[in-house]
Chains A and B, each alone.
Chain A
Amino acid sequence: MSELRGVIVSHAAVAQALVAAVKAITGIDDALTPISNEGCGTEALGERLREAVGPGPAVLFVDLPGGSCFTSSARYAKQGGAEIAVVTGVNLAMLLDFVFHRDVAPADAARRAVDAGAKAIRVTA
């Protein structure tokens, strides 16, 4: 199985910042590709996804569970032909876990990422 790519799909520069943070913490810079929806209609965002995902397989990490990033990603996953899973509510913790666990199927990687991301959200005081 070829190693999974992660593609982060976000508003503004959130995706780029997350990729930079993962690299700063882990040194890994070849597992994640950032995409912004800045200036994109549905068609242009679909094209950015196509370029980033390539032949797949991939997990798409989307910032919000709705909106243009999400609808384009879900549509691409359904129609794009590659083996793709979509995760919403991306955070740094899930990406840090993901980059070290990419030798599984997209659906399994997505579930693992969601667990890791959820565990990082807590009230501490």
Chain B
Amino acid sequence: MTLALYRIDDRLIHGQVVVGWGQPLNCSFIVLVDDEVSSSDWEQDLYRMGVSPQIEVIFASVEQAAAQFSDWEADARVGILLVGDVETAVALAARVPQVKRFNVGGVHHRAGRTERLRFVYLTDEEASKLRELAARGVEVTAQDVPTARAVPIGEFT
């Protein structure tokens, strides 16, 4: 198997990811790509607490992720790759052309963002970046949990 889910979610490791997606996918490792978290032991401890010990959690900066990506893709286990925002997703996809899909799973309200879906709020710039990503051949859909419909990018940007 390989990385089965590439997800943009500002909550990073949380219930929907670990249980909602992790259980049906039989996920054995989670790669959390975030420059800030990858440089903070305290933040890493915090996120590790949400995951059972049999699931490996790997923390990486965007640069580290680009260097190690092929190892994760070749892993015999099933994995989930997480980023916290559109900017990180775009940066990763720019460095790693093998990234061919992103699931927008949770981008929540903050100043400047407008509601696109119940669980997706985007600035116009973020929406534009996602469309550019799609135009470059990355399949971008929005889906919070596996039982929900995968909403195509054209319906929420």
Contacts and interface: CB of A to CB of B under 8 A. Distances in A.
Given A39-B108, A40-B108, A44-B108, A68 B49 contact: no
Contact of B108 (A41, A66, A75): A41
Contacts of A78: 42
A57 to B, nearest CB: 22
A71 interface: yes
B147 to A, nearest CB: 16
A63 to B, nearest CB: 9
Contacts of B119: 39
B69 interface: no
Interface in A39-54: 39-44
Contacts of B109: 39, 41, 44
A74 interface: yes
Contacts of B106: 41
- By size class, the interface of chain B is 20 to 34
A108 B32 CA distance: 35
Contacts of A11: 15
Interface string B42-79: 10001101110000000000000000000000000000
B118 interface: yes
Interface in B11-26: 11-15, 18
B62 to A, nearest CB: 19
Interface in A42-93: 42-44, 64-68, 70-71, 74-75, 78
A65 B50 contact: yes
A125 to B, nearest CB: 28
A39 B51 CA distance: 22
A42 B10 contact: yes
A25 to B, nearest CB: 28
Interface in B69-111: 106-110
A64 B50 contact: yes
5 contacts: A41-B110, A66-B18, A66-B47, A66-B49, A68-B14
Given A66-B47, A67-B11, 5 more contacts: A41-B110, A44-B108, A64-B15, A71-B14, A74-B46
Instruction: Identify the 3 closest CB pairs spanning chains A and B, nearest first.
Output: A66-B50, A41-B108, A68-B11
